Chains A and B, each alone.
Chain A
Amino acid sequence: MAAAFGFVLAVALTPRQAVWAFAVDAAALLAVIRLARVPARFMLARLTIIVPFVTFALVIPFIASGEQMDVLGVGVSREGLWGTWNILAKAGLGATTSILLAATTEVPAILHGLTRLRVPPTLTMIAAFMIRYLELIADQLRRMRIAMTARGYDPRWLWQARPIAASAGALFIRSYERGERVHAAMLARGYAGAMPPLNQRTAGSREWLAAGALPLVAAAMAVAGLVVAT
């Protein structure tokens, strides 16, 4: 996880003119993806999450100010083009890294990684509970919607959304009340306010070395890019 953060950070810091630096970063990332055996189609499918932002990035040269140049007879901003490239490169690499992290790391490991990175344990515990109950609550929501649809409810306009909002309210109450029951269950098993240490796996030095390769490559590229630019 530290590796993922490090890589994305280094990529973010790379000056955009150093196109070759990004190429190296991308190659390194692809190598890791191959190693992790994550299917390409899966990665591409998940990457669609940044489509709205990509669209915005593509529009930039046309709405940006600054020195204009001609591309295929259309006036675009030179700075704007660089801006687009910058965003696409960093967002693309960043999103790919995130997707890779999400795809290869189980949630408990992600949360444990956070604790090791000094994130307050309360936050990670809340996150753990959230993840545990998310499917349950989302499922309850889905069933509520099915029940409403089965009774002929087919809203198209905002002001018809009252039953949906009402079911959201009902869902909150159910979730909160379940929270209180979970608390009772925790008390019943001796909970006194702090989570007890359960035996958790921590990363060995070999794993640190292996994982560290990726961000090191990106950091090297960032530094090189900065040096070349000056």
Chain B
Amino acid sequence: MTHPAVEIRDLTFTYPDGRQALRGVNLRVEHGQRVALLGPNGAGKTTLALHLNGIYTADSGSVQIGDLILADTSLAEVRRRVGLVFQDADDQLFMPTVRADVAFGPANLGLRGGELDARVAESLVAVGAADLAERAPHHLSGGERRRVSLATALAMRPDVLVCDEPTSGLDPAGRRELVAVLRGLAITQLLITHDLSFALELCERAVIVSGGTVVADGATADVLADEQLLETHRLSLPYGFNPATVGKRNPGA
């Protein structure tokens, strides 16, 4: 395996109204890694995520997923390889039933009939939502919606999973279920989150993005232990939480 799962080189991007969102981001993620993307609001984390599947096009720099460089011609395949789970599940669940939503992605890839049904079933089982197939998305609870969104992304069998604030709005049980699901997935994961204990629990590596660039990149426990770093970039640990002790109690994840 010569290519990393994700390689971002010198990515810059300015919004149409003039605000510069990304000022040269460099990031390299190996296969199977779970990386937490941390940073203050407005740092550009969501913008960065939307570059990974070509929703936004950078002003300069490049995005490479596996052996494929992101370009107009490779757009469709890149979108298959990168599964994006949006911050607001309602933006992502737009079909009348859960089944239709999960089927949407693979159907666009060309799956039909029995094959399509099988893929839908497989994705729903993976997130523990098989019993929700005939339900309407607007009648689901927050946690159920989040898991179904995840299923819609997984149905494309992506190589890389990018989640934008996956634990926001979840109650403790929902959070626990999500952690279990993500831990069980053997694919490369990029998790944008404010939830630092979630980051520590799932990700061996943490990257801080602030002001449009990467300002820190290292083992999660180390990054979180650097109080000065956290404070500069408007991050703070949950009260009473000591990353040093956590790391020692749960070696590896």
Which chain A residues have a beta carbon within 8 Å of chain B's beta carbons? 107-108, 111, 128-129, 131-133, 135-136, 178, 181-182, 184-192, 196-199
Contact = CB atoms under 8 A, between A and B. Distances in A.
Contact of A188 (B79, B107, B112, B137): B79
A66 to B, nearest CB: 50
28 contacts: A111-B96, A128-B96, A132-B94, A132-B95, A132-B136, A132-B137, A133-B90, A135-B138, A136-B90, A178-B90, A181-B91, A182-B94, A184-B50, A185-B84, A185-B86, A187-B79, A189-B79, A189-B108, A189-B152, A189-B153, A190-B109, A190-B156, A192-B76, A198-B100, A198-B103, A198-B116, A199-B112, A199-B117
- Chain A at the B interface: SS class: helix
Interface string B69-112: 00000001001101010101011101111001001110111001
Which of A107, A182, A197, A199 has the largest count of B CB atoms less than 10 A from its CB?
A199
A190 B78 CA distance: 10
A196 B104 contact: yes
Interface of B: 50, 53-55, 76, 79-80, 82, 84, 86, 88, 90-92, 94-97, 100, 103-105, 107-109, 112-113, 116-117, 136-138, 152-153, 156
Contacts of B107: 196-198
A191 B105 CA distance: 8
Given A181-B88, A187-B54, A191-B104, 18 more contacts: A108-B96, A108-B100, A132-B137, A132-B138, A133-B90, A136-B90, A181-B91, A182-B91, A184-B91, A185-B94, A186-B94, A186-B104, A188-B79, A189-B104, A197-B112, A198-B116, A199-B112, A199-B113
Contact of A187 (B55, B95, B96, B97): B55
B105 A190 contact: yes
Contacts of A191: 104, 108
Nearest to B156: A189
A197 B152 CA distance: 16
Contacts of B116: 198-199
Contacts of B153: 189
A119 to B, nearest CB: 16
Contacts of B55: 184, 187-188
Nearest to A178: B91
A113 to B, nearest CB: 13
A188 B53 contact: yes
Contacts of B53: 187-188
B121 to A, nearest CB: 12
A181 B152 CA distance: 16
Contacts of A199: 103, 112-113, 116-117
A131 B96 contact: yes
